[in-house]
Structure 1
Amino acid sequence: MLFKNSIEGITSEMLEGFFDGWPTPPSPETHFNLLENSSKVVLALNEDADQVVGFITAISDGILSAYIPFLEVLPEYKNRGVGKELVNRMMTELADIYMIDLCCDDDLVPYYEKLGMVKANGMLLRNYEMQSGIKAE
């Protein structure tokens, strides 16, 4: 497993299989664009298959705050420590930031607590018509 902090050498073809269970998932091309536009990114790659098997992104002002919108590992690579390693590497990337926030479903709270995070209240708004990242015509 190779971990890297950039999308250098990554193509949209290497991003197949993510956003499992989303009714209208982003395409691999849109996924590539969101990686490209993130403040920070850490990728897990299976070099033998030339495939990204996990990723985490952060959006930050670079001074005080960062938000982690995505942590995802392909199903066949789960429970192998890939997600934990992605989080740990992202926390290293964001070590100089005062507040690092993320939202997650209730069933994931224990996972993030094990990684040193604490549960907090949050508010959100979802525009499901834009879930794929492409505006419907």
Structure 2
Amino acid sequence: MNIEYSFDKRPTADQIIELYNNSGLPRPTNDKERIQKMFDNSNLIVTAWHNELLVGVSRSITDWVWACYLSDLAVRHEYKKEGIGKHLIALTKEKVGDQSMVLLLSVPTAMEYYPKVGFTKQESSFIINRAE
């Protein structure tokens, strides 16, 4: 299977919503404007495409020298277990370089996945949850 990875090819809000719904990633997909703003305000996005179909995305916010928050990692359901998520993470890490850590908050269903692709579970985080 020929998957094309890109830092420059940006999906539409509709493509993102369809991918998130298909992948099971819990995001506000009923709010197209909010999804668009999430992507407009992110400064590191890696996409995975099979022909013209968006099959994966890694969306991050970074300062490029200390921290990178990988806020969304989604892979289309029928493309899971093909290494796409792992490759999106590797490209994200490669782009931010060795000076920057990559951190994320996992959805409960992915807690077993992240240690398999190189993440170390941390017990030292805190959160102020969003109102909605």
Interval containing the TM-score (normalised by the shorter chain): 0.7 to 0.9
2:8 is matched with 6
- Alpha-carbon spacing, 1:113–1:22, altered in 2? closer, same or farther (3 Å): closer
SS state of the match for residue 124, structure 1? coil
Equivalenced residue count is 126
State which structure, 1 or 2, has the greater radius of gyration over its C-alpha atoms: 1
Residue segments in structure 2 that go unaligned for 5+ positions in a row: none
Q: Which residue of 2 aligns with 1:34?
A: 38
Deviations 1:64-100 (A, max 9, x none): 1111111011111111111111111111111143322
1:94 is matched with 96
Is the CA contact 1:66–1:97 (under 8 Å) kept in the aligned structure 2? Answer: no
* Gap runs ≥5 in structure 1: 130-137
Query: 2:70 is matched by which residue type in structure 1?
Result: I
Tell me the equivalent position of 1:70: 72
Residue identity opposite 2:39 in structure 1: L
CA deviation after TM superposition for structure 1 residue 126, in Å: 2.4
- Does the 8 A contact of 2:25 with 2:74 survive in 1? no
- RMSD (Å) for aligned C-alpha atoms: 2.4
- Identity over aligned pairs, percent: 24
Judged with a 3 Å threshold, the aligned counterparts in structure 2 of structure 1 residues 25 and 13 are, in CA distance, closer, same or farther, namely closer
Return the TM-score normalized by structure 1.
Answer: 0.75
Amino acid in the other structure paired with 1:11: T
Secondary structure class of the residue paired with 2:121: coil
